[in-house]
Every structure is written in C-alpha cells, then in structure tokens.
Structure 1
Amino acid sequence: MESLEIIILAAGNSSRLGQPKQLVVYQGKTLIEHIASNALMVSPHVTVVLGSHAKRIEWTLNQAQLFPKIVYNPDWEQGMGTSIKAGVSSLTNKQAPIMILLSDQPAVKTHLLWQMIHLYQEKKPEIVACDYGGKLGVPMLFSPQVRHELLILSGDQGARSFLPYYSDTTLTVPFALGTWDIDTPEDVVELMRKKN
C-alpha cells in the first residue's frame, strides 16, 4: 500500500529479558529484522523508533540491508506512548494511514498485515485492530482522522487507551497468536522450541 506509513516500536530496554529483545535470533534472523522486512514488503514507508541499544539495532538493520527510516526517542524510558508520539511526529505525510507494529511479536507475518490493509481499504474504518480472542491489540492500523490521538499519548499509554471511544468505527482481524511476545528468558526458550 503505497501511502501507508508503518511505525515499528523498538525503543525498550528489555529489562525483564536481560538482553535486547530486538536482537534475539529466530529462524536465522533477529526479531527486528523479521518485523522490518515484513513491514517493507507491504509499504516503502517504514519508520523504526529506537531508544535503548539504538546503535546496535541500527547496525543490525544496516547489515541485513534493511534501511527503514530511523527515529531516536530520547524519552523512551518514559514508556511506549512517547515512542508512538515520536514516530508519528516524524511523518511528513499527514494524510497517510498509520500502522503500528512491535518488534517482539514473532507471529506477525505479511499475510496478517495485508489482511488488515485490505479490510481498511474496503470498509474505511477509523481503526483496524487485531483481536487476540476478546482483547484488542497491535498490529493496529489508524486512519488519518485518528492521528491526533496518537500524538497526545504519553508515558506507558498505548492506543488501547483511546480504543473505547472508537468502538463503533473499529474493525478487527483475528490474531490468536498476538499474545505471543518476548519479554522473559522463558519466552526466548519457547521461541527456540518453535524455531523449526
């Protein structure tokens, strides 16, 4: 989708994991490589928001010949809301829809992203969210009309904080594996088990 802006949140320091989750290797590639390459397959406009371990992560992307736009969030320690705001603030096309991805959801594949894009194009909702089985989460796609909500997030606030106000104009796609993310050493062990 030519006009779609994709923002990948990759600024956290992975305190519970003890190592940068963005650089955990899965199926021969780091998690940040997986999500960045998938994002670049559906849009040429991909922004990665970095904070902790920024130089190592950017170097890893460059080594993989992946060249998304890099935005550094100096306030990354204050929480995810600041990274969303930093990413959205950096976008020059104010009329583009915005998709937000995380760097630690190994189950996110291009077919899920295309499913969300096609639903957005066909039905024109204000938000397309993933349904984890009764709980909505990322990936999420936002129309330009919702941009202002993303720009006023702060601290640990994510998009879930304003989803209730858009319940009538939010559509969902099923994504049962949305709850599978990498936060602890045990999550990495499980990831290695699923390697093949």
Structure 2
Amino acid sequence: MRRSRVAGLLLAAGQGARLGRPKALLEHQGERLVDRGVRLLEEGGCHPVVVVLGAATPQVRRAVTVQNPDWASGMGSSLRVGLAAVPAEAEAVVIALVDQPFVRPEGVRALIDSGAEVAVATYDGRRRNPVLIDRRHFAEVAALARGDVGARPFLASRPELVTEVACPGDPTDIDTLEDLRLLEAE
C-alpha cells in the first residue's frame, strides 16, 4: 500500500526528570532537539508534522504544535493528544521521540515506503522508534496508551499487523546528564 499523505508526530512534552530540564530544549550542534525532530520527520517524507508540547512550550517553526495539559502523567497522554491532532487527510502517522537525535530521515522514509499498516523501526534486530501507524488503528492505539508507555501495548496486542523495518542510524535516547555529555561529544 503506497501512501501519499503521512503526517509526522513528535512527542516532546516531558520534563526530562532524570536530566533536570525538558529534552525538547536541549541543543545538539546548535539545533534544539525539538527542531531536529521536526526536520527528521519532514526530511523523511512526513507532512504536516505535529509536535506535542508540555513541560516546555517553545516556538517551533514548520510544525503544528499542540499542548498536552496532562503531560506529567506520561507519554500515553501525549500520544493520545498527538493522534487527535493529526489532520484528517493523513492516511498514517510516523511517531518519533524528541530524545532520539541520531535517528535518520532514511529510517522514516523506509517506514513509509514499507507499505505496512503498522511498521516498527529496528536497529540491529531490536525494535525501537519511530513507528508508523495507519489511521484505521489510531483509536485502538490511543485506548491502550496509558502512563509512560505509548504505542507498545498496541504493538504487543496486534503482532500480526507489525512489520519490522531495518533502519539506519542510532536509536540512543538522551535520558541523563551522562547521555547529554556523550551527545555533546559527537
């Protein structure tokens, strides 16, 4: 199934509790992670890009921003808010996380080009983000997204739908000050 209208959804609402500041505002090579995430999704073929904000509310160019008033409850609420904000004309969405700055646009493109209803990026055979979800599954994904988990319960409950897609890049996420130091050393 070839899609022509795939939106991007960047989850960027958290406060970065272990880091001590919101991850969306962190910079790598002079670019905030939130802007880097928008660029990742755009260059991978997503339009429009929806960014879910919460603990921090930066201005974000080239994206639709939505506020998650319940951001402190975890990623599940951000995923629900984000899926609800995806424009009706989008046939699917690629969901990415703001704290994974080494994911590459080619990986996003590979998910879209897979033609799958549900596609999960893999790195060295391990499932990570981003993921692609066809619109027909949005309600089920949202219903299962609770606490600090996003699409994982849906993916586990519907294994017959999931296509694994090998992706280039590195899914390492930035969670601690040590992770940030490693990022800055790149």
Task: Choose the corresponding residue for 2:35, options 24, 33, 36.
Answer: 33
Q: Cα deviations across residues 46-91 of structure 1 (Å, max 9, x unaligned)? A: 100000011xx22xx2xxxx22001000010001000000011122
Residue 193 of structure 1 aligns with an amino acid whose one-letter code is A
Q: Cα deviations across residues 119-164 of structure 1 (Å, max 9, x unaligned)? A: 12xxxx2210012445422100011221112221222231111212
Question: What stretches of structure 1 move > 4 A for 4+ residues in a row?
Answer: none
Task: Choose the corresponding residue for 1:113, options 108, 111, 135.
Answer: 108
The answer as to 2:99 corresponding to 1:143 is no
1:8 alignment partner, SS class: strand
1:44 alignment partner, SS class: coil
Partner residue in 2 for 1:90 = 85
| Structure 1 residues not aligned, in runs of 5+ | none
Q: Percent identity over the alignment? A: 31
Partner residue in 2 for 1:73 = 68
Give the superposition deviation at 1:2.
4.3
Q: Which TM-score applies when normalising by structure 1?
A: 0.85
Q: How many corresponding residue pairs? A: 181
Contact 2:46 2:94 in 1 (8 A): no
1:88 & 1:101 partners in 2: Cα distance?
12
2:89 & 2:5 partners in 1: Cα distance?
10
2:83 alignment partner, SS class: helix
Residue 177 of structure 1 aligns with an amino acid whose one-letter code is D
1:137 & 1:159 partners in 2: Cα distance?
11
The answer as to 2:161 corresponding to 1:161 is no
Contact 1:116 1:173 in 2 (8 A): yes
RMSD between superposed Cα atoms in Å = 1.8
1:189 alignment partner, SS class: helix
Give the superposition deviation at 1:14.
0.4
Residue 88 of structure 1 aligns with an amino acid whose one-letter code is L
Partner residue in 1 for 2:5 = 3
Contact 1:136 1:160 in 2 (8 A): no
Q: 1:95 to 1:45 in 2, by over 3 A?
A: closer
Task: Choose the corresponding residue for 1:177, options 134, 154, 170.
Answer: 170
